Amino acid sequence: MISKNGHVFKIMDEDTGLFSSGGYYPSFSKTGKDWTSMGQVLSHLKLYRRGHPYDHKDAEWAGKKFKAPVIPKSWIIIEYQFVQCSRGVSARDSIK
């Protein structure tokens, strides 16, 4: 699905070139999942962190130490923008 403004977001693992399927335990494939807003992508990343309570690193904030969930460094968010180049043509007429 493409958003109203023509944008699609994906999460790609740079190490493999594959895309996230979304969810708590995402698999990665050549196509993956499309999100229509950055907010949806960030919600997915927060969901992932909740699903991986043991994948943490030591962190410190305001002088207090705690365990912070880790998103793999190789994951990147890619934004695609689709632009219609020409007016659509009849699919039926195209196969005559």
> Which pLDDT score, from 0 to 100, does residue 20 have?
95
> Which pLDDT score, from 0 to 100, does residue 4 have?
67
> Which pLDDT score, from 0 to 100, does residue 85 have?
75
SS3 of the chain: helix, strand, coil, percent, to 5: 20, 35, 50
The rounded average pLDDT for each run of 10 residues, N- to C-terminus, in the chain (96 residues) is 77 96 90 92 84 60 61 90 78 78
Instruction: Give this prediction's pTM.
Output: 0.69
Q: Tokens 């699905």, residue?
A: 1
